[in-house]
Amino acid sequence: MDGGDAGPGALKAQPPPHRRSGRGGRDKGAQIAGTRCCGGGDAMSQEDPSLASVAAAYRRFEPAAYLRNNYAPPRGDLSCPDGVGPWKLRCLAETFATGEVTGRTLIDIGSGPTVYQLLSACAYFEDITMTDFLEVNRQELGRWLRQEPEAFDWSAYSWHACLLEGRGDSWQHREQQLRARVKRVLPIDVHQAQPLGAACLVPLPADALVSTFCLEAVSPDLASFRRALGHITTMLRPRGHLLLIGALEESWYQAGEVRLPVVPMSAMTVREALVHGGYEVRDLRTYTMPAHLRTGVDDVQGIFFAWAQKKAGVEV
């Protein structure tokens, strides 16, 4: 674990001021979105008509609208300890703080246009792969990794992650560390038996997987969700760890003009899918979306966080 470039008192200052993106007038107060888009290339649309419909819908996905819908205030207000953003960061920070989820390689499944899900992880893994189905999301990630002026401003989430961890790291150091440890950004298709393709550039199996708002959002039904879970599980070593964040009891959300379907999931459905997929569920938490955060851009009822460990000898 790397040390920070600031002393323990560095985090007592106010969080960094929100800045505005140079593209599309995006409010930097929006900060970080959950990751909705995954899959990869065009393969998802080749075999199953229902998967083809999902793939076609995602071609109309607008990252800027998604970020604006979900992470501009009120949902993007990190100053409220009971908000959804702090809850997600806290789940991740507390899990990594156990010291059990560690290793050399980590794959982020369906990164979308976001990096918040890796802010705590990058202190524990030196080789990180980010992935997404959509080129527009991979381009967005590239802008942030290259520190281009048009990139989305993640500093408030970086600051908050460091605050939660309490290790004295500065948010600037944490962002530099994450950029250094993301080694590649690749296409992925979770509906293929080899999600990263036959000519995979990633060292496999990985020590850990992270996936946020992905599998339930790109699967037309529960059976597809379970198959996709099985596909990504093949990339994880025995006794490796999977961290999942996703929507509870959501059937649709908007990302620009397109209205995208979601498989409604309960906490029990998530647990059963993980157990069926060969995992031991180490932790499963839920967050109920308060009324003032139900803003009409989706019908989400809550969020789940799951920490699961792949059992030895599992064949998927």
Residue 30 lies in a domain: no
Phi, psi (rounded to 5 degrees) for 180: -70, -30
Tell me whether residue 110 is annotated as binding.
yes
* Host H or E run for residue 56: helix 49-58
In a domain? residue 169: yes
Q: Is residue 71 part of a domain?
A: yes
CB 107 within 8 A of CB 88: no
Would the annotation count 190 as a binding residue?
yes
Mean pLDDT within 11-22: 49
Q: Is residue 13 part of a domain?
A: no
Residue 34's pLDDT band (cuts 50, 70, 90): very low
Domain count, the chain: 1
116 is in an annotated binding site: yes
**In 10 A of CB 3, how many CB atoms?**
10
The answer to the question of whether 41 is labelled as a binding residue is no
Taking alpha carbons only, the member of 268, 284, 287, 211 closest to residue 35 is 211
Supply the pLDDT for residue 291. Answer: 92
Looking at residue 252, what is its pLDDT?
Answer: 96
pLDDT band at 200 (very low <50, low <70, confident <90, very high): confident
Lowest model confidence (mean pLDDT) among 34-38, 119-123, 147-151:
34-38
Would you state the pLDDT for residue 48? 82
- The identity of residue 1, as a single letter, is M
279 is in an annotated binding site: no
Token pair in block for residue 59:
């071609």
**28 part of a folded domain:** no
Residues 226-237 as b or e (16 or more Cβ within 10 Å = b): bbbbbbbbebbe
Residue 19 pLDDT grade (very low, low, confident, very high; cuts 50, 70, 90): low
Q: Which segment of 26-30, 50-54, 119-123, 174-178 scores lowest on mean pLDDT?
A: 26-30
Average pLDDT over residues 298-309: 97
**Does 253 show up as a binding residue in the annotation?**
no
Q: Residue 104: its pLDDT value, please?
A: 98
Cα 14 to Cα 7: distance, rounded to the nearest angstrom: 15
Closest CA to 178 of 187, 186, 169: 169
251 belongs to an annotated ligand binding site: no
Residue 119, exposed/middle/buried by CB under 10 A (0-12, 13-18, 19+)? buried
Q: Is the pLDDT of residue 239 over 80?
A: yes
* 10, part of any domain: no
pLDDT at res. 45: 45
The range of the structural domain enclosing residue 171 comes to 51-310
Report the range out of 4-8, 155-159, 167-171, 278-282 with the highest average pLDDT.
Answer: 278-282
In a domain, 29, yes or no: no
Does the residue 282 lie in any domain?
yes
* Domain containing residue 289: CATH number: 3.40.50.150
How many Å separate Cα 111 from the centre of its chain?
5
